[in-house]
Amino acid sequence: MHISRFGSVASRHKVQLGAALSAVALAVTGLAVPNATAAPKPITIGISVSLSGDFSGDGKATQQGYKIWATWQNAHGGILGRPVVLKFLSDASSPTQVVTNYQKFITSDKVDFVLGPYSTKLTKPASDIANRYHYVMLEGIGGGPSVFSRGLKNVFDVSASATYQLVTYAKWLAATQKPQPIAYATMDDPFIQPMVDFAKAYLDKKGFTDAVYKVYPAETTDFSPIASAVAASGAKIAILGTMPPDGYSMIQNFIQAKYNPEQLILASGPDQGADFTKSVGITNTEGIMVPNTWIPTSNYPGNKDMVALYIKTYGGDINAINADVPEAFAAGQVLAQAVNKVGSTSNVKLQAYLHSGAKFTSVQGPVQFAPDGENSGAAPYVFQWQKGQYVPVLPLGGPDKVSPIETLRPAWGTTPGM
């Protein structure tokens, strides 16, 4: 079976119809397939990932996402009919090394394209380097607002903008509930804090008040005083700007403090699948919400393949997939679609095309770039853990079918059916 390149979304959907299994089968033999003919020169893509240091956990997930995308893309004809070869370098979570790494990709390795590293902090220097050499930087995991406020024309984020991720929930809240006090606690982080602050600004305008608002430093290891402060506020709704590990600790502290909010939404953490359920215990997950740009079970192009490939390659189940994986995967998808459309490896043309308002598809949903490079086409989802399942509940009226939202969380440890 040979699959030619497919330039349109429609034809890709056809491929989608061939179930996940066929893609997996392809992935195994996939690399050999495009080489059946004259072995075209591969398309090289350079990516710096954090394999050690502070970001190493997410760095590795990012790398997995990119790798799976490359496998999948090659199984689907590569880019411009040429196979995709990824080059990874570790940056040890340091901006110094990020600068050097992207210089190397562009000037020594002369890669055709680059994709973004993990985190807002590293995306900023990386995009400067790319800009210097007129390279486009597509990324999905570094969408802090400060990346886009610098006037760079070459950065594009395929994920929903950080600033709007919690607004979906805020809008729903303002529309359905009476104004009441809300407890906020957020990590001091360029990606996370804006999420909470935007939601808070929105809710403040709608008459909601803050029962408590605490910003905690990134290196906090003991969350009990913060959790106590939130618990003591007695607010029925808690909005937390957490990264995965502190989200788990925070929930644990809530349980210990017997604080049982009716609605609990975390910026990230509950989206981490098995990591989350193992850390907080499956029986405590009921009703916890999290915004996300990706639905594991969605029918967006490539998603089922990605999930199958991931499970085949790295094991685990659908819920074990870190959100970094589809974010990286989506960046690759958009790159492939755009380059195939442009028809050349010219980054200048690519940049112009990405700014043209063209629409793309990804495992996370539709992508369309605003002038500053943010994805204006994305609609951030809100997920909720219901009966041990991770299900989308918001937005209402979106393209995907969502489950009804549980507005009253049960007591801790009482997940129905668990």
Partner 1 sequence: MLVLQAIIEGVLVGGFYALMAAGLTLVFGVMDIVNFAIGALIVLGAYLSYSITTHFHIDPFVSLIFTTPLMTALGMFIYVFLIKPIKTNKVVMSLLTMFAVATLIEGILDICYNSGFVQIHASYINNSLRIGKLNFPLIYVLSFLLSAFLLSCLYLVTYRTKFGRSLRASMQNPVAARLVGIDTDRVSMITLGIGIGLAAIGGMIFGTTNAFNASSSYDIISRLLVIVILGGFGSVGGALVAAIFMLVIQDVVAVVWSPVWGSTAFYMILMLVLLVRPQGLFGKKGVRAQ
Partner 2 sequence: MSTDTTISQRPTPPSYEVPKAIRYGALTVGFLVLVIFPLVFNNPTISTIGVFAMIFLMAVTGWNIFSGYTGYIALGHAVFFGIGQYATAMLASYWQIPPGWETFLLIPVSMFLAGLAAIPIGLIVLRVRKHTFIVLTIALMFIFQLFAYNLRGWTGGSQGLEVSQPPWDGSIFNLPYYYVGLFLAIIAIVTSFMIRRSKFGLSLLAIRDDEDRARSLGINTRNSKLTAFVISAIFLGAAGCMYAMFVGSVYPQFSFDPAFDLELSIMAFAGGLGTILGPSLGALIISGAQQYFLITFGGANVFLIVYGALFILILRLLPGGVVPAISDKWRSHVVRKEQRILDSELEGPAEAGAHK
Q: Which residues bind partner 2 (CB under 8 A)?
A: 51-52, 54, 56, 88-92, 94-97, 99-101, 103-104, 106-108, 121, 124-125, 128, 131-133, 144-146, 150-151, 188-190, 193-194, 217-218
Q: 121 contacts which partner out of partner 2, partner 1, none, CB within 5 to 8 A by kind? A: partner 2
Residue 333 φ/ψ, nearest 5 degrees? -60, -50
The residue (of 242 and 333) whose beta carbon lies closer to partner 1 is: 242
3-state secondary structure of 64: helix
Separation between Cα atoms, residue 292 and residue 160, nearest integer Å: 9
DSSP 108: I
H-helix or E-strand spanning residue 209: strand 209-216
Separation between Cα atoms, residue 112 and residue 89, nearest integer Å: 16
The side-by-side arrangement of strands in the sheet containing 237-241 is 209-216, 181-187, 237-241, 263-266, 288-292, 381-386, 389-394
CB 60 within 8 A of CB 75: no
Residue 319's Cα: distance from chain center in Å? 14
Q: Which of 7, 145, 245, 398 binds partner 1 (CB under 8 A)?
A: 245
- Scan residues 171-230 and list those touching partner 1 (CB under 8 A): 188, 214-217, 219-222, 224-226, 228-229
The interaxial angle of helices 244-256 and 224-233, nearest 10 deg, is: 60
Instruction: Residue 4: name the closest of 178, 334, 14 by CA.
Output: 14
Instruction: Tell me the closest approach of the beta carbon of residue 151 to partner 2, in angstroms.
Output: 8
Instruction: Residue 85: name the closest of 64, 104, 71 by CA.
Output: 71
The residue (of 261 and 373) whose beta carbon lies closer to partner 2 is: 373
Instruction: Tell me the closest approach of the beta carbon of residue 303 to partner 1, in angstroms.
Output: 22
Neighbouring C-beta atoms of residue 394, cutoff 10 Å: 22
Separation between Cα atoms, residue 44 and residue 78, nearest integer Å: 11
- Scan residues 38-57 and list those touching partner 1 (CB under 8 A): 51-54, 56-57
Instruction: Tell me the closest approach of the beta carbon of residue 194 to partner 1, in angstroms.
Output: 16
**Tokens 């502190």, located at residue:** 246
The residue (of 9 and 218) whose beta carbon lies closer to partner 1 is: 218
Q: 224 contacts which partner out of partner 1, partner 2, none, CB within 5 to 8 A by kind? A: partner 1
Amino acid letter for position 293 = T
C-alpha distance from residue 344 to each of 78, 177, 285 (Å) = 13, 52, 48
Q: 95 contacts which partner out of partner 2, partner 1, none, CB within 5 to 8 A by kind? A: partner 2
Q: Residue 47, exposed/middle/buried by CB under 10 A (0-12, 13-18, 19+)?
A: buried
Q: 90 contacts which partner out of partner 2, partner 1, none, CB within 5 to 8 A by kind? A: partner 2
Q: 253 contacts which partner out of partner 1, partner 2, none, CB within 5 to 8 A by kind? A: partner 1
Instruction: Tell me the closest approach of the beta carbon of residue 341 to partner 1, in angstroms.
Output: 37
If one asks whether residue 415 binds partner 1 (CB under 8 A), the answer comes out as no
Instruction: Tell me the closest approach of the beta carbon of residue 73 to partner 1, in angstroms.
Output: 25
The residue (of 60 and 304) whose beta carbon lies closer to partner 1 is: 60
Percentage helix, strand, coil for the chain under 3-state DSSP, each rounded to 5: 45, 15, 40
Q: 193 contacts which partner out of partner 2, partner 1, none, CB within 5 to 8 A by kind? A: partner 2
Instruction: Tell me the closest approach of the beta carbon of residue 277 to partner 1, in angstroms.
Output: 11
Q: Write the interaction track for partner 1 spanning residues 290-329; mark x where CB under 8 A is met and - where it is not.
A: ----------------------------------------
The residue (of 59 and 377) whose beta carbon lies closer to partner 1 is: 59
- List of residues contacting partner 1 (CB under 8 A): 51-54, 56-57, 59-61, 93, 188, 214-217, 219-222, 224-226, 228-229, 231-232, 244-246, 248-249, 252-253, 255-258, 275, 278-279, 281, 284, 412-413
